[in-house]
Amino acid sequence: MKRRTFLKGIAGAGSLAALGGAGITRAFADDKVKMGFVYVGPRDDYGYNQAHFEGKSAVAKQGWVKAFDEENVPETIEVIKTMESMINLDGAQVLFPTSFGYFPHILKIAEKYPKVMFLHCGGLWDASKHPKNVGSYFGYIDEPVYLAGIVAGHMSKTGKLGYIAAIPIPQVLRNINSFTLGARSVNPKITTNVVFTGGWANPVKEAESANSMVDQGIDVLTCHVDSPKVVVETAEKRGVMCCGYHTNQAVLAPKGFLTGAEWNWSKVYADYAEMIKGGKTIPNLVRGGIKEGIVKSSPYGAPVSDKARKHADEVRAKFMDGSMVVYKGTIKDNKGNTVIAAGKEYKQTDIWLESMDWLVEGVIGAAKS
Amino acid sequence: MSHEEIGLFGILFAVLGGAIRVGTPFLFVSLGECLTERSGRINLGLEGNLVMGAMLAYGISYLSGSPWLGVAAAAGAGAMLGLLHALLCQQPRVNDIAVGIALMLFGTGLAFFWGKPFIQPSAPHLPSLSLGAWSDSPALRSALEINVLFIAGIVLAPLLAWFFRNARWGLNVRCAGESTEAALAMGLNVNMIRLLATMAGGALAGVGGSFLSLYYPGSWNEGLSSGQGLMAVALVIFARWDPVKCVYASLLFGGAAALGPALQSAGITWGYYLFNAAPYVLTLAIMIATSSAKRRLPGLPGVFSNLK
């Protein structure tokens, strides 16, 4: 075949495909609710991205919803390309860029597409600064993390807990603090060592941190990274206990798994879909904890004592009836300053907690490097 | 032992253990690259072999129940990628560095594509030897929990050095790397030597990948390699194309990677970004220290002398 005829052939095929493309777009131009999801990592990472993917899959089961997603999208200009193609090619009405670091990129294009709602998973949206078609949703996952802290506090023999975290942003610090406060409500002498690995997914560093922590006598490990699989498996291998995060990791550590904090995104995404279907305005800020069903605890693992279960269940009941306040004075940071004065209370809904940049007394680690 | 002493020894053990645990993939990739470069080819694509090897080893180990079969598969896949590199580079006017970069993207992309079903399941791991059973310190015991692949690598390095120095085939490899013309004049099949050396080097890199997924950290996912394959290529320059020095360099890089987490878990909380970047800073420092516009690097195979 001559090169020219070959090229002609390609051009022909291309225009056919383009025609086909137009046809498809028309076929889908119906009144389905169109939702786009973007993940920073793989859909099946046993962690953060899987939790969102499970939520997307649940909402996609509704016949009147068309949900599409893309995984492994870096927190760079790439996410802008992904979002724009979801808007222009798939006709997305609402986008869920689920990673924390997507936020600045959302702001770059939000004003260009005023009819699309951009809902960011995390706490950065500010009514006074950001456009109306941007919003944020997040769960008070530190409630089940606090409960995990109580269980860890009961179960730890050495009184040393370990937290392997990605980077010191407010949500991560809040989890570390709640975990430590939960554990210290059992035994005020307990300490939590923190390692910041510097990235959301760095398996070698996570395994190395877990090993170093066990070497230092830490006997309960937990983590806030995209996929807790490596940390949970390393803890099991080294014969220490662990608490999970994002989704249920009990099967990975049958001997040492205590409990964990999980997202329940299927409910959140279903609620959004209903709002769009019903033609309601989408709220810019959606928050909720155990009570609202946005987060939950993993079932207790085999080693958890009855005493620990009972204590955690009592506090869970308090979260359910709304009487539990985690951030209640006097709370000191780990440098000795009083951050919450005696008698002062910050309820979960308090937006002040979302700018947390300190670590509570008992945490060995630094919020700023 | 006081609390602080445990902390300091803990750091020491963690860095020691980390040097071995984190260093093993570096060791295999750098030995492989050393062999390939000694024959007169640069294969920058070993990162692809590493990731491909990690994925296949995990998948095969999960499906067959035998981690050793997984290691064999990783070596096979690495050899195949090496073969592809060698065949492409034999063509006229093909640049081996460009082919290497292309194969790196090809290998990682293919591994991500095929690896999807293996992210969730848990595969059987490679066994290890407990060399620290005599000690009553759990930290030391864990640091001396040595994987058989590491021992294989340690044995392989002096063997490879002997091969280059004394074996007829080893001398042929070196000859091909020193001067294509001389090798041709000797009647050697230079292309075949380079093809075999690239395949063997690729296989070693694949084995390095299997260590990542089947032992440490012992799981397959798409973020598994943080550029170990690329760093190991830089490490060969640092080791002056000497297999035995590759061992020391790998241990040094492994220890550097373990330093950040070890210091933080001992409660040293300042400067963690700096310590976490230690291996990369080390790579950069080596590159700066060893580059020179005037002289040829000691140990650099002759055919690369025009590259500088």
Model confidence at B268, pLDDT cuts 50, 70, 90, reads confident
Contacts of A347 (CB under 8 A, 6+ apart): A325
Between B222 and A179, the higher pLDDT residue: A179
pLDDT at A14: 44
The answer to whether the Cβ–Cβ distance between A216 and B261 falls below 8 Å is no
Indicate whether A23 pLDDT > 70. Answer: no
Instruction: Say if the Cβ atoms of A196 and B271 lie within 8 Å.
Output: no
pLDDT(A199) > 50: yes
Q: Are A207 and A195 in contact (CB under 8 A)?
A: no
> Average pLDDT in the A257-276 region?
93
Sheet arrangement for strand A33-38: A65-70, A33-38, A94-97, A117-121, A134-139, A285-288
Q: Give the residue-averaged pLDDT of B182-206.
A: 96
In this predicted structure, the answer to whether residue A314 has a pLDDT above a threshold of 70 is yes
Strand arrangement, sheet containing A295-297? A295-297, A257-263, A241-246, A220-224, A160-165, A191-196, A363-364
Task: Give yes or no for residue B308 having a pLDDT over 50.
Answer: no
The CA distance from B139 to A211, in Å, is: 9
List the domains of chain B with CATH numbers: 3-126+163-290 (1.10.3470)
**Which residues in chain A have Cβ-Cβ distances shorter than 8 Å to B276?**
196-198, 205
Q: Is the pLDDT of residue A27 over 70?
A: no
Q: Which of A243, A271, A275 is nearest to A259 (CA)?
A: A243
Can you give the pLDDT at residue A1? Answer: 43
**b (16+ CB within 10 A) / e for B20-41:** bbbbbbbbbbbbbbbbbbbbbb
* Cα Rg of chain B, angstroms: 20
Are residues A99 and A201 in contact, defined by beta-carbon separation less than 8 angstroms? Answer: no
AA identity, residue A184: R
pLDDT band at B129 (very low <50, low <70, confident <90, very high): confident
pLDDT level of residue B36 (50, 70, 90 thresholds): very high
**pLDDT at residue A218 above 70?**
yes
Cite the beta strand spans of A92-240 per DSSP E.
94-97, 117-121, 134-139, 160-165, 191-196, 220-224
> CA-to-CA distance for B163 and B157, rounded, in angstroms?
10
pLDDT at B81: 97
Per-residue pLDDT reduced to its tens digit, A280-300: 888 888 888 999 999 999 999
Q: Compute CA distances A156 → A236, A258, B94, whole Å.
A: 15, 11, 61
The distance of A195 to chain B (nearest Cα, Å) reads 5
Comparing A84-98, B16-30, B120-134, the range with the smallest average pLDDT is B120-134
d(CA A356, CA A195): 18
A196 vs B: CB within 8 A: yes
Q: Residues B175, B301: contact at Cβ < 8 Å? A: no
- What type of residue is B239? A
Interfacial A residues in 56-75 facing B (CB < 8 Å): 72
Other Cβ atoms closer than 10 A to A357: 12
B217 upstream amide cis, omega within 30 of 0: yes
Predicted pLDDT of residue B16: 87
Q: Tokens 């979002």 — which residue?
A: A83
Mean pLDDT, range B297-305, rounded to an integer: 81
Phi (first) and psi of residue B34, to 5 degrees: -60, -45
Helix, strand, or coil here: A27?
helix
**Distance from chain centroid for Cα A142:** 11
User: In terms of CA atoms, which chain B residue is nearest residue A204?
Assistant: B217
Average pLDDT value for residue range B248-268: 87
Spatial separation of the C-alpha atoms in residues B180 and A138, rounded to whole Å: 63
Q: Tell me what the mean pLDDT of segment A75-82 comes to.
A: 94
| Contact: A208, B273; criterion CB under 8 Å | no
Q: Please give the mean pLDDT across all residues of chain A.
A: 88
The C-alpha atoms of residue B151 and residue A343 are separated, in whole angstroms, by 61
A128: distance to nearest CA of chain B, Å? Answer: 33
Whether the pLDDT of residue B130 is over 80: the answer is yes
Is B300 or A173 the better-scoring residue by pLDDT? Answer: A173
Distance from CA of A49 to the nearest CA of B (A): 12
Instruction: Report yes or no: A206 at the B interface, CB cutoff 8 Å.
Output: yes
- Domains defined for chain A, CATH in brackets: 19-139+265-288 (3.40.50.2300), 142-262+293-364 (3.40.50.2300)
> Does A158 reach chain B within 8 Å, measured CB to CB?
no
Nearest chain A residue to B279, by CA? A205
Across the interface, whether the CB atoms of B276 and A205 are under 8 A apart is answered yes
Is there a contact between A369 and B270 if contact means CB atoms under 8 Å apart?
yes
Distance between CA B125 and CA B123 in Å, rounded?
6
Predicted pLDDT of residue A84: 95
Q: How high is the pLDDT of residue A86?
A: 95
